[in-house]
Amino acid sequence: MKKWKNLMCSNRWIMQEVEKYYSKNFLLKKYDLTYIDTGAMYRMITLYLLENNIDINDLKEVEKEFLNTVNLDMQGDKFYLDNVDVSTKIREKE
């Protein structure tokens, strides 16, 4: 019985995720809105900091470096960091 309960919970969770996905897309299309993937933005910033050996704890350095030199761009499901497509790289497991 425990396996069936877990399966039922998993199915409910999957259905909720599917409903959120379709609701989000419906609203975006209906009101001509743009979806901003903030998770991808955070990952692009982190990738930049890691690749440029910037100490994330040094907020002054992060601010100086980030505000003056970084170029983030999102076009559909593609993510660009300084004009380089990092869409796959930011989704990889470390």
Strands (E), 5-91: 72-75, 78-81, 84-85
pLDDT tens-digit series, residues 19-74: 777 777 777 788 887 777 888 888 998 898 888 888 888 888 888 877 778 888 88
Q: Report CA-CA distances (Å) from 10 to 13, 19, 31, 43, 71.
A: 5, 14, 32, 27, 39
- Complete edge-to-edge strand list for the sheet that includes strand 78-81: 72-75, 78-81, 84-85
What's the CA gap between 25 and 47, in Å, rounded?
A: 28
Q: At which residue do the structure tokens 């601010």 appear?
A: 63
pTM (global) more than 0.75:
no
Is 80 in a helix, a strand, or coil?
A: strand
pLDDT tens-digit series, residues 60-83: 888 887 777 888 888 888 899 999
Residue whose C-alpha is closest to residue 65's, from 75, 80, 50, 43: 50
